């Protein structure tokens, strides 16, 4: 039986009921449906100290970095704050180094309150991912007017967004799977 494909899910919002968290939950349904296994990093990134040399020895930092090293890929989502990603996810990414990230895959989700979407957030996450030598799948999901996208039960009112998010999660698992088939050479 093939080894499980583990995807570490990094959410840049502290609220589990946020549109960003709900969007990542939809993408996780796609990961699950494609045979992957999602590991939520909320427990660690919400408790990380500010990144500095002094904080590198913090036990939460050690656990977070170990989980990142064990992951085969990353699903990252952030709300757009002042034209960029949230400080929460940026702080978490600042703790990671190439030995946890290099030649792994990532998928990106951005949410924004405005009608233009979260392209600035997605671009910022893509730049950071490139610096960490992650392979970012081409598809990404930007959710505009995010505050209008969930119904009272916390589900997306637009079925197309739900489908795109699930597809994103499935494509991330498939990218990892294809890389394994090609003996570690990314398939882009």
Residue holding tokens 């030649």?
Answer: 103
- Domain membership of residue 108 (yes or no) is yes
- Whether 186 is covered by a domain: the verdict is no
Query: Domain span at residue 25?
Result: 5-181
Residue 153 lies in a domain: yes
Which residues, listed in sequence order, are joined to residue 143 by a DSSP beta bridge?
Answer: 111
Number of domains, the chain: 1
Q: What is the pLDDT of residue 3?
A: 81
Distance linking the first and last C-alpha atoms of the chain: 25
* 100 inside domain: yes
What pLDDT score was predicted for residue 185? 58
- Compute the distance between CA of residue 143 and CA of residue 118 in angstroms, rounded to an integer: 7
Residue 86 lies in a domain: yes
Please give the model's pTM, rounded to 2 decimal places: 0.94
Residue 170 contacts residue 142 (beta carbons within 8 Å): no
Give me the average pLDDT of each 10-residue run along the chain (188 residues): 88 91 96 98 94 92 97 97 95 97 97 88 97 96 87 86 96 95 65
Tell me, yes or no, whether 135 lies in a domain. Answer: yes
Q: What per-residue confidence (pLDDT) applies to 1?
A: 53
Angle among Cα 44, 153, 109 to the nearest 5 degrees reads 45
In a domain, 40, yes or no: yes
The reply to whether 187 falls in a domain is no
DSSP states of the chain as a string?
-PPPEEEEEEES-S-TTSHHHHHHHHHHHHHHHTTEEEEE-HHHHTTPPPPSTGGGG-HHHHHHHHHHHH-SEEEEEEE-BTTB--HHHHHHHHT--HHHHTT-EEEEEEE-SSTT-SHHHHHHHHHHHHHTTPEEEEEEEEESSGGGSB-TTS-BS-HHHHHHHHHHHHHHHHHHHHHHHTTT----
Please name the residue that has the structure tokens 């036990």: 59
CATH of the domain at 71: 3.40.50.360
């Amino acid at each position: 039986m093939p080894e499980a494909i583990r995807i570490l899910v990094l959410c840049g919002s502290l609220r589990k009921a946020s549109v960003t968290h709900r969007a990542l939950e939809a993408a996780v349904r796609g990961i699950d449906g494609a045979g992957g296994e999602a590991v939520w990093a909320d427990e660690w990134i919400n408790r990380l100290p500010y990144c500095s040399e002094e904080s590198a020895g913090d036990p939460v930092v050690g656990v977070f970095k170990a989980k990142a090293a064990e992951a085969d890929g990353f699903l990252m989502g952030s709300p757009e704050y002042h034209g960029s990603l949230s400080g929460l996810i940026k702080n978490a990414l600042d703790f990671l180094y190439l030995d946890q990230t290099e030649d792994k895959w990532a998928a990106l989700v951005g949410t924004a309150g405005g009608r233009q979407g979260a392209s600035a957030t997605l671009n910022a996450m893509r730049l950071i991912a490139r610096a960490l030598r992650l392979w970012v799948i081409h598809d990404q999901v930007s959710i505009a007017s995010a505050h209008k996208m969930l119904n009272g039960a916390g589900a997306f009112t637009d079925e197309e967004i739900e489908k795109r998010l699930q597809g994103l999660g499935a494509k991330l698992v498939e990218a990892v799977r294809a890389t394994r088939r090609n003996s570690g050479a990314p398939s882009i």
